[in-house]
Amino acid sequence: MLLPIFAPVMANENKLQNIIAHCKEYGFIFQSSEIYDGLQAVYDYGQYGSELKKNIRDYWWKSMTQMNDNIVGIDAAIFMHPTVWKASGHVDNFSDPMIDNKDSNKRYRVDHLLEAHAETLPKEEGDALLAEMDTLLAADDFAGLKQLIEDNKIKCGISGTGNWTDVRQFNLMFSTEMGSVAGEADVVYLRPETAQGIFVNFLNVQKTGRMKIPFGIAQTGKAFRNEIVARGFIFRMREFEQMEMQFFVRPGTQKEWYEHWKETRMKWHLSLGISPDRYRFHDHVKLAHYADAACDIEYDFPMGFKEVEGVHSRTDFDLKNHQQYSGKKLTYFDTELNQHYIPYVIETSIGLDRTVMMILSEAYQEEDLSTAEKQDSRVVLKFPPMLAPIKLAVLPLLKKDGLPEIARELMNECRSEFRCFYEEKDTIGKRYRRMDAIGTPFCVTIDHQTKEDQTVTIRHRDSMQQERIPISSVKKLVLDKTRAF
Ligand code: ATP
């Protein structure tokens, strides 16, 4: 057997562009409404992308709910009573400081503008600039932020000028109207986070599930933000999906639970087979209006270390405010302490689309397989097998001699357990390459020997090693290697 030499053949700066092109070519991710030239920062998942996304969602869901007795899941509606967003602080506070260039009319998020500039500076200078920015952001010092942009002579990428407006806050929530009579309708918001659906159901779940503190409520679902600078493929979208869990604890114990969830979530990331040096924690200096501690888990994306998940100690801010705005009691009776209180909350909040992008970035590899005799290469997505869109490809060597029938039988045996793919066109080599490109961990070839001794060739995606195994053992082997728990 020929052992391939794996050699990366791709400059890092091209990696993101290559991944975007690959996702389109192989049915993972398309731009929304592409035939109308697309809608900015909105994407559709294709046949393989939606399977990958679903597998990641399922893995998160099971890790959170099935694997923890004291965490249950819900599925709250996207539309919520408008007062929810008053109580949560989103109507007044869910905004980012923005600045416009007067010549191009292009709007920028102030922190993004300064961060991009810091990257062009020598490390020490860049770090000093970011530290100054953090201090000004923490103080809501908008005049100071504008001065910092001017002092650094930062120019607009489009007009090339430094002719800036003042720094202003810009609310990121989308709104629409509910009701049939124009003018009399109520304004409702598309939720900017899934968390509030959990808070307003806190007592419903606690009472009906007879939950005892500490306990958690998990939810996955769409969220919407009118991001001003939406770029980086599916990293920053206007419509995206979140996977959030709110963990309700006794007041005073939030610090230890915060540390617990930081560690637990990092373990989850490492369980995806990603090396620890691809992650780092970033502790927040400027805390959100609801938090007493917060950090981001950052992953080393093709464009550098960026947030994939947040762990936030949200105090009792949300429940307390919902109690005040709704006039309904949202306290919990702790039988051990014989006391009523509003629980404190630790939140873990991860973007599903950002996780898809993380998994794609990690999995995407261009390999040079050239030997002395011939030039060769492949693009392979080395997904963790449990996340792969297709687990098994069943490939009859020829379209005749009864081989397709045997292949179909194997498909029928396996399809209820995991996603299989049948293909009989083209040479086996080409079919293997197509399966590599969508990250299928196992390919099984049915040939004439199968008819004689009921064995098949199974090919392993990452090593490209092939071995002969009984056809009767295929299902169990694939199940064992692709199971998450
Ligand atoms: P950022 O600083 O990148 O805007 P954030 O701190 O506002 O993110 P959170 O409000 O903590 O993000 O949301 C939790 C998670 O939701 C983020 O870690 C991210 O994975 C995801 N997320 C937030 N905004 C977007 C977006 N516009 N597109 C895709 N995912 C997003």
Ligand 1 center to 137 CA (angstroms): 18
Q: Is residue 99 domain-shared with residue 67, that is, in the same domain? A: no
- The CATH number of whichever domain residue 195 belongs to comes to 3.30.930.10
Looking at the predicted structure, is the pLDDT value of residue 81 above 60?
A: yes
Asked if residues 81 and 214 have their Cβ atoms less than 8 Å apart, the reply is: no
Q: Is residue 316 domain-shared with residue 250, that is, in the same domain? A: yes
Q: Is residue 200 domain-shared with residue 270, that is, in the same domain? A: yes
- Per-residue pLDDT of 117-151, as tens digits, reads 999 999 999 999 999 998 898 788 999 999 999 99
Confirm or reject: Cβ of 225 under 6 Å from ligand 1.
yes
Confirm or reject: Cβ of 262 under 6 Å from ligand 1.
no
Specify the pLDDT at position 9. Answer: 43
Strands 168-171 and 71-73: unpaired
455 located within any domain: yes
Q: What is the CB-side half-sphere exposure of residue 5 using CA atoms within 13 A?
A: 7
Ligand 1 center to 351 CA (angstroms): 6
Nearest CA to ligand 1 atom 26: 236
Of residues 393, 387, 389, the one with CA closest to residue 430: 393
Specify the pLDDT at position 96. Answer: 84
Three-state DSSP class for residue 379: strand
Of residues 261, 268, 263, the one with CA closest to residue 216: 261
Q: Is residue 321 domain-shared with residue 466, that is, in the same domain? A: no
- The CATH number of whichever domain residue 477 belongs to comes to 3.40.50.800
Ligand 1 center to 161 CA (angstroms): 30
- The CATH number of whichever domain residue 137 belongs to comes to 3.30.40.230
Give the residue from 361, 379, 403 where a domain finishes. Answer: 361
Q: Is residue 338 domain-shared with residue 449, that is, in the same domain? A: no
Give the residue from 144, 171, 198 where a domain finishes. Answer: 171
Confirm or reject: Cβ of 298 under 6 Å from ligand 1.
no
Q: Is residue 287 domain-shared with residue 249, that is, in the same domain? A: yes
Segments forming the whole domain that contains residue 407 = 390-482
Q: Is residue 347 domain-shared with residue 267, that is, in the same domain? A: yes
Specify the pLDDT at position 107. Answer: 87
What is the count of structural domains for the chain?
3
Q: Is residue 102 domain-shared with residue 69, that is, in the same domain? A: no
Specify the pLDDT at position 287. Answer: 85
Asked if residues 297 and 279 have their Cβ atoms less than 8 Å apart, the reply is: yes
Q: Is residue 236 domain-shared with residue 345, that is, in the same domain? A: yes
First to last CA, the chain: 33
Q: Is residue 152 domain-shared with residue 27, that is, in the same domain? A: no
Asked if residues 293 and 255 have their Cβ atoms less than 8 Å apart, the reply is: yes
- Mean pLDDT over residues 298-310, rounded? 96
pLDDT confidence bin for 228, thresholds 50/70/90: confident
Q: Is residue 331 domain-shared with residue 291, that is, in the same domain? A: yes
Ligand 1 center to 309 CA (angstroms): 7
Q: Is the pTM of this model over 0.85?
A: yes
